[in-house]
Amino acid sequence: MQTGQFKEMLKTKPDIFELADQCINNPDQITMLFDIINTEKSSIKFTCEKTIRIISDIEPSALYPYFDRLVSLLDSDNNFILWGAIISISDVVCVDIDNKFEKIYEKYFSYLSSPTMITAANVVQNAYKIIWSKPGLEKDITKKLLNIENYTYYIKGEVSEECKNILFGHMLDCFDKYFETSAMKMEIVEFARKQVHNNRDSTAKKAEKFLKKHNKI
């Protein structure tokens, strides 16, 4: 299938999961997905991004040969493309036999300090996947997550403490997924105890649940 035909097919709004399977079985179409994201102005580029995200989840090894192209999407000026890249990279790390992620490690986690909370949230919500795949990075990743307390997030140009409270809730969810193997249990527990008094009810409840689950109350 030529690129032009592929684009026309995308305009028919095919089932996204069937499209992902099709691309997995036809690697040339994965190349087309990236090409369209980088050149197309219409909404089909978002269909391509969603397809890449599904492939990263169900068959990460099919996407690994395109790891560098995936990383290039981190520089996208479109937030939806950027957010998708953050998620997909975290999925593909589990097959990173050449340790390519280490080369972009600092860049990836630099998005924790993005003034846009959703960007930081996507990193937080998917950090546990990287830790599961690369446990040697756990201590430093945990430090980076805990450092979120020192960042500032904005909504419509205004500083938002609520954004940080939302992120704290995501952090608790993330910590819960690897707490038992963490090298920083004391620091995580200290963080959780502080969040019991968080002004955001859902975050405070997550903190209580976390502490009870891990027998720290």
pLDDT in tens, 118-149: 999 999 999 999 999 999 999 999 999 999 99
| pLDDT of the residue at 8 | 87
- Please provide residue 102's backbone torsions phi and psi, each rounded to the nearest 5 degrees: -55, -30
199 CB contacts (<8 Å, ≥6 apart)?
Answer: 161, 162, 165
The reported pTM is 0.94
pLDDT at 200 over 70: yes
Interatomic CA distance for residues 37 and 30, integer angstroms: 11
* Torsion, CA 128, CA 129, CA 132, CA 134, rounded to 10: -100
Residue 158, helix vs strand vs coil? strand
What is the mean pLDDT of the segment spanning 186-213?
96
> Does residue 84 contact residue 53 with C-beta atoms inside 8 Å?
yes
Where residue 72 falls among pLDDT bands split at 50, 70, 90?
A: very high
Distance of CA 113 to the CA centre of its chain: 14
> Does residue 88 contact residue 123 with C-beta atoms inside 8 Å?
no
Which helix H or strand E contains 186, and what residues bound it? Answer: helix 185-195
Query: 31-56, pLDDT tens digit by residue?
Result: 999 999 999 889 999 999 999 999 99
Average pLDDT over the chain, rounded to an integer: 95
User: Which single residue is written with the structure tokens 């009810």?
Assistant: 201
